[in-house]
Chains A and B, each alone.
Chain A
Amino acid sequence: MGVLIACSTVAVLTTIGIVLSLVFESLQFFRMVPVTDFLFGIHWSPQMAIRADQVGASGGFGAIPLLAGTFLISAIALTVSGPVGLYSAIYIAEYASPRFRAVVKPLLEVLAGIPTVVYGFFAALFVAPLLRAGGESIGLAVSSESALAAGLVMGVMTIPFVSSIADDAITAVPNALKEGALGVGATRSEMIRQVVLPAALPGIAGGMLLATSRVIGETMIVVMAAGLTANLTLNPLEAVTTVTVQIVTLLTGDQEFDSAKTLSAFALGLLLFIVTLILNVIALRIVKTYREQYE
């Protein structure tokens, strides 16, 4: 029995380990760079001067451009996966024949099983050049590492994520409600829009929040398809960088554990952890209370 209890604490220890390691390294970082500079600075170029009088020595550790980049790519991804995932779920749950459902649902779930590095490769090698060529033909300058390419592919990746949670929420709506709507003469789409969706809304919202946290923390697609230089813009055709991209670039290769450059990656990690944690807690609570409502 003692063994069982010990095992169950591993999960807690993991969380403690994550929090401690992130907080400890971040505190060291904030000793060199003030928290306010990090959270509200709009200039990101993680370098520290070797000599005080060096030209261009003032490294910038403002996370705002990274947050803006992350936000931009996430927004693009969610505008793809939100509607597409939701409509897919509606079609599969309410319109499709059982046979269609049995084939298509697992196929869509294959999308979720594909390693993200494959999506990244696909975004960088096929989607980005395609967008570039498309942009050129209508006279738009599209960067070869545009936020759009990374966002679109990330959107496709999260389709099964949104659709499976939306599917659960839709099928959990009691049949009595659906049949009642059809009984008073609503068409199927009216029934879905006016009865099923409002009833399933909390579940769907929870699913979207989980998808958001997933998209924010996604790394490989943006590392391979988005840019490296911090760029404070909301133009999806330009290259932007994200929090996860910077963590990877700062921590692969040579590192010294006392330089602000390396430590800043942990501060970014802490920021990422806190944001996704908040999203997860809210989402899990919504999904849970909603599930209990109809059980």
Chain B
Amino acid sequence: MSEIAEKKLRMAAIRKKRHRAETRFRLFGMAAVSVGLIFLAVLFAVVLFSGLSAFKQTVIHLDIPVEASGDNYQAMVKLSLRNAFQDVTSRRHKRELYALVSSGAAYQLKDRVQAAPVLRGTMVSIWVTASADVDMAIKGETPRLTDRQLAWVDDLKTKERLKTQFNWRFFTGGDSREPELAGIAVATLGSLFSVFVCLALSFPLGVLTAVYLEEFAPRTRWTDFIEVNINNLAAVPSIVFGLLGLAVFLNAFGLPRSAPLVGGMVLALMTLPTIIITGRAALKAVPPSIREAALAVGASPLQAVFHHVLPLAMPGVLTGTIIGTARALGETAPLLMIGMVAFVVDLPETILSPATALPVQVFLWADSPERGFEERTIAAILILLLFTCLMNLTAVLLRKKYEIRW
């Protein structure tokens, strides 16, 4: 009797141990899932919290006496600052005073006066961009201003001559050495151009290749080779594509450096395998009865594929294309290789003019030592994430809405 009881006890202990192992295993799984999710949450929280402030910019209201003739707008801005704070006399203090407004203020004034020459010889009332240090101080960062400058800022604030407004320049301006003047317009346009070139090349090439391999190609050694090739290309590091672009497109073909055209071509080669692989999967999913029905009523093989099979496979093909394009949009390394990493101030006019791309701009600004660039980097990341997430979301919705289950 006691022997049986002992055995029961032992079994119970083993069972307990096994169930503890079960719980432990399950907890490990939950922990693993949370690692990814927590990182994601932290990343998005950081980006949202510290990036949004870059969409606001501090501006200062100045009454600037514009000379009847002469173009030294810098001097006019300085004069108006001296007028506003007339007790400032020493040279060092004056310099501190001038540092309140951005060096871009003179250009703002110049644009205003050149647009309306009647303003010459009058007092112009204008909101000019504050310097990055003032901007940072207003946004609650530990200020890098002297006590005197802080007093001036407070004074301006009480006189309601200092406010924050929506930062249009961030969306319309090119790159700049001054954080308060830097914008993402060049990078955004460059990205748009490259992605456009990338799509224009890779979509037709990818779809036609997928159609050929899936619908027409005989199974020979050559087509097997192409298939292995495509699968491998999909896993080649992106920087190697950049080396290809540098050696072939730039050095052998002599295309211009830093041009979105070359960037788009390199990205197209990278996106091609993704489009082909998803395209083939989508074509494969269309049942043979569609093909046979088309052929039976007298369609040629080409007509059967292009009029019937391909349209039905389109949602799948488009999903793959969008996902590939989203990846191309976020790609940086190959663009560094072909020189899209320049300091570009003017908006690119064609796909041959020098430009950067959004992810490259993030990389460039992340390297800048000025503190004002940190929030701009994060804001650029925010825009980049917005684009890629929107594209991926479109792909998911497209798949949900139009996916046909045969």
Contacts and interface: CB of A to CB of B under 8 A. Distances in A.
B396 A88 contact: no
B225 A8 contact: no
Contacts of A21: 243-244, 247-248, 252
Interface in B190-246: 204-205, 208-209, 211-213, 216-217, 223, 225-226, 228-233, 235-241, 243-244, 246
A10 B201 CA distance: 11
A24 B252 CA distance: 12
Interface string A242-281: 0010011001100001000000011001001100110011
Given A24-B247, A87-B29, A216-B237, A116 B332 contact: yes
B359 interface: yes
B321 to A, nearest CB: 15
A110 B385 CA distance: 10
Given A87-B32, A118-B362, A156 B243 contact: no
A184 interface: no
Contacts of A214: 235, 237
Nearest to A94: B29
Contacts of B228: 281, 284
A273 B247 CA distance: 15
A30 B158 CA distance: 70
B331 interface: yes
Contacts of B28: 87
B36 to A, nearest CB: 5
A48 to B, nearest CB: 20
Contacts of A121: 362, 366, 377-378, 381
Contacts of B388: 113-115
B370 to A, nearest CB: 14
Interface stretch (A12-20, A140-148, A174-182): A12-20
A126 interface: yes
Interface in A11-47: 11-12, 14-15, 17-18, 21-22, 24-25
Interface in B11-65: 18-19, 21-22, 24-26, 28-33, 35-37, 39-40, 43, 46
B248 A219 contact: no
A124 B368 CA distance: 13
Contact of A11 (B18, B204, B233, B366): B233
A283 B234 CA distance: 13
A4 B232 contact: no
A17 to B, nearest CB: 5
A184 B91 CA distance: 90
Interface stretch (A54-62, A71-79, A100-108, A229-237): A100-108
Interface in A144-193: 156, 159-160, 163, 187-190, 192-193
Interface of B: 18-19, 21-22, 24-26, 28-33, 35-37, 39-40, 43, 46, 204-205, 208-209, 211-213, 216-217, 223, 225-226, 228-233, 235-241, 243-244, 246-248, 251-252, 269, 272-273, 276, 302, 326-327, 329-333, 336-337, 339, 341, 359-360, 362-363, 366, 374, 377-378, 381, 384-385, 388-389, 392, 396
10 contacts: A14-B269, A87-B29, A88-B36, A92-B33, A95-B29, A113-B388, A187-B22, A280-B232, A281-B232, A283-B235
User: Top 4 A-B pairs ranked by shortest CB distance?
Assistant: A217-B237, A115-B330, A91-B29, A87-B32
Given A11-B209, A219-B237, 15 more contacts: A18-B236, A18-B244, A110-B392, A114-B330, A115-B331, A115-B362, A116-B333, A118-B385, A122-B46, A187-B22, A188-B22, A190-B18, A218-B237, A248-B337, A281-B228
